Structure 1
Amino acid sequence: MRNFLALVLSAGAASPALAAGGAFFSLGNTDFIVLIAFLVFIGVLVYFKVPTLIGGMLDKRASGIQSELDEARALREEAQTLLASFERKQSEVQSQADAIVKAAREDAALSAEQAKKDLEVSIERRMAAAEDQIASAQSAAVKEVRDKAVAIAVAAAGDVIAKQMSAADANKLIDAAIADVDAKLH
């Protein structure tokens, strides 16, 4: 504080009024009056401990700012911790999503393979059924051809026999057939 007063006095001593050469310490000199009023004002401020009050207020403000800075630092650290946590969770979720996609692809590949196998089995069954139908149709055609051949042969044989047989031979055959039927029925 004394340094401050010495600075104020030296500033007043180096005023332009002193350089002009007049009496500085007279009550007619306004610079001298202003200097005295200023010194009285400074003295009143020192007497009522205004610099201490201002210093205390500044200290309180500084401590408030420091506490806000500390709180901001703590919040920043907490935010960084949360960010790191979210990044870890994001990487875990990404790895889980990758695993799910990989499993889905594998399942799709297995399903495609199973579908191919099922299709091949179905095709084989249908081919076997078609071959069976073809064989059945073939045997039916062969049987029908045989039956027609037998019918034609019997008809041809009947015509041949009818042409070669006389009426007396036919009556003998009819009597023999009746006797044969009579013998089998009794």
Structure 2
Amino acid sequence: MILEAEHFVALGFFLFLAVLAYYGVHSKLVGALDARVDGVKKELAEAQKLREEAQTLLASFEGKRKAAEAGAAAIVAQAKQEAELLAKEAHERTTDYIARRTKQAEEKIAQAEAQAANEVRSVAADVATRAAEAVLKTETAGAGGAALVDQGIKDLGRLLH
């Protein structure tokens, strides 16, 4: 029973552990594990620091983005106002231009009507004068014509005063 293989394996294992303890392997192993833990802690601290910097940068860029969006919205609003103002001014200029052109056309029409009326009066006066001349030539021949001339002179004096 004492000389069974399991006992020799256990004895060999304990001797192996004793040799490792004698040479201080356990302290080296613990030191290596502690160094690894410290390295992991440093990496975690660095990762946390980088995360905080990234959060700060993200917040900064978000603020800049919002400011840029607000600026763009203000520019768009101002452009719309300017476009509306320009459209209104163009409409007013067009309306004024049409009104001026209409007034000029009406003035030309009135002027043409006045000129036509004057020409008609002139032609009518010429025709009436020729007709009166023709009538007077036929009517004033003889004694009746002298009486008619005397009557016209009397009427002329009355009409002038």
TM-based fold match above 0.5: yes
TM-score, normalised via structure 1 length:
0.68
Deviation >3 Å, runs of 4+? 161-166
3-state SS of paired residue (2:110): helix
Structure 1 residue 115, shift from structure 2 partner: 2.3
- Deviation at 1:149? 0.7
The residue that corresponds to 1:149 in the other structure is: 124
Partner of 1:32: 7
- Aligned residues: CA RMSD: 1.8
SS state of the match for residue 28, structure 2?
Answer: helix
Match of 1:116 in 2: 91
Which runs of structure 2 are paired with 1:2-81 in the superposition (5 Å)? 22=1, 24=2, 28-81=3-56
Larger-gyration structure (1/2): 1
Give the secondary structure class of the aligned counterpart of 1:128: helix
**TM-score, with length taken from structure 2:** 0.78
Which amino acid in 2 is paired with 1:101?
A: V
Q: Percent identity?
A: 40
Q: How many residues align?
A: 141
The residue type equivalent to 1:74 in the other structure is: K
Q: Cα distance, 1:164 vs. partner?
A: 4.9
1:145 partner letter: V
CA distance in 1, matches of 2:38, 2:47: 14
CA distance in 1, matches of 2:32, 2:55: 34
Aligned counterparts of 2:113 and 2:6: Cα–Cα separation in 1: 142
